Amino acid sequence: MSLPAIDLVLPAVSRIIEEEVRLVGPTDRGESRSTFFLVGDSGELVVKLVPDGPEVFSNQLRLLRLVASLRAQGYPAPEYLGAGQADKAVFTVQRRVAGQTLEPGPGLPPAQELFSAVVPDLLVAVELQAGAGDLVDPPWPEWLLTTIEQGGDGYCLHETMFRRSDTAAMLARLQDLARRNSSSPPVSKDIVHFDLNPANVLHQEGRLSGVVDWNVPFTGASQGDRGFDVATMLFYSYDLEPTRELLWERATDISGLSWTSVYLCHLVLRQVEWSRRHKPDSDEERRFLTIATRVLADCERRGA
């Protein structure tokens, strides 16, 4: 479903937050092109649009409650001002968090010194997600395992992997690895960001300032194992050797080797498939193919 023009959403945003707003423009980053900077009487804002549908609005209200609960504990998450519906879209509006992303450009690794400085505070923040979920029986990790076995909705597409022999073999390898390691009960009571990569972590002068781009894309999402978020940061910084072992240790401390390996299998599939489909034969694709190959080998070497 296509999204309405942002101009059609602005009046609804103004009503929700009770102040006039003006469009600044789309954010610089993000694949969906559905997030926009605004300015209002109280300062800079960010609005994110998602297509409307069954339970979409209630999912965004749940997102606001989850993030507010983290902020109350000191988590560096955005302050959400509300959610609403306009035309065929649901939107959330938040205050803009100051800072720059750890990722210097699409598909590029963060600077090592900067990343090393931010990681300790980021790991402290992730611990605030522990046991903070709101669901008695979340669908984690079944939907995650489905992406590995069958693919996902618009991502983790197996047909992309089958188009070339190298990624077809990679898919078979990661599926075998995930099947061997998904039998024990996982952690399932934590809040999960699910995309805690350097593009969604902000810093100011080398200090953690925010974790952004929270989302509840379907009913029951955003709860599971916070170790997945650590594994995500591990994957996207795998070519930075000084922090690699620290992130491995923290991920396995939370989730165990088996589930950390399953999470890394999903991340390999997610990013390799996306890069191959959208940026074939690019430096970005080559970087993630190299990381993916090493990640799978390291999971096996560690005994997964």
Q: How far is CA 35 from the centre of its chain?
A: 15
Residue-by-residue DSSP string for 154-182: SSS-HHHHHTSHHHHHHHHHHHHHHHHT-
Q: Is 19 left (phi over 0), alpha (psi -120 to 50) or beta?
A: beta
What is the chain's mean pLDDT, rounded? Answer: 96
Q: Is 120 left (phi over 0), alpha (psi -120 to 50) or beta?
A: alpha
The architecture CATH gives domain 6-95: 2-Layer Sandwich (3.30)
Is the pLDDT confidence value at 242 over 70?
yes
Query: DSSP letter at 30?
Result: -
Tokens of 156: 């983790």
Q: Is 82 left (phi over 0), alpha (psi -120 to 50) or beta?
A: left
Question: 87: pLDDT confidence band, cut at 50, 70 and 90?
Answer: confident
Is the pLDDT confidence value at 2 over 80?
no
Q: What is the pLDDT of residue 29?
A: 64
The domains spanning 6-95 and 100-301 adopt the same CATH topology: no
Q: What percent of the chain is modeled with pLDDT above 70? A: 98
> Does 1 or 297 have the greater pLDDT score?
297
Instruction: Say how far apart CA 299 and CA 294 lie, in whole Å.
Output: 9
Phi, psi (degrees; rounded to nearest 5) at 295: -60, -50
Per-residue model confidence as pLDDT tens digits over 145-162: 999 999 999 999 999 999
Is the pLDDT confidence value at 4 over 90?
no
Contact 272, 162 (CB under 8 A): no
Per-residue model confidence as pLDDT tens digits over 254-293: 999 999 999 999 999 999 999 999 999 999 999 999 999 9
Question: 7: pLDDT confidence band, cut at 50, 70 and 90?
Answer: confident
Is the pLDDT confidence value at 202 over 80?
yes
Q: Where are the domains of the chain?
A: 6-95, 100-301
Is the pLDDT confidence value at 30 over 80?
no
Question: 8: pLDDT confidence band, cut at 50, 70 and 90?
Answer: confident
Q: Which ranges constitute the DSSP H helices of the chain?
A: 6-17, 56-71, 112-127, 142-149, 158-162, 165-180, 227-236, 241-278, 283-301
Per-residue model confidence as pLDDT tens digits over 119-134: 999 999 999 999 999 9
Contact 82, 67 (CB under 8 A): no
Q: What is the pLDDT of residue 33?
A: 72
Question: 182: pLDDT confidence band, cut at 50, 70 and 90?
Answer: very high
Q: What percent of the chain is modeled with pLDDT above 90? A: 94
Q: What is the pLDDT of residue 198?
A: 98
Fold of the CATH domain 100-301 = Aminoglycoside 3'-phosphotransferase; Chain: A, domain 2 (3.90.1200)
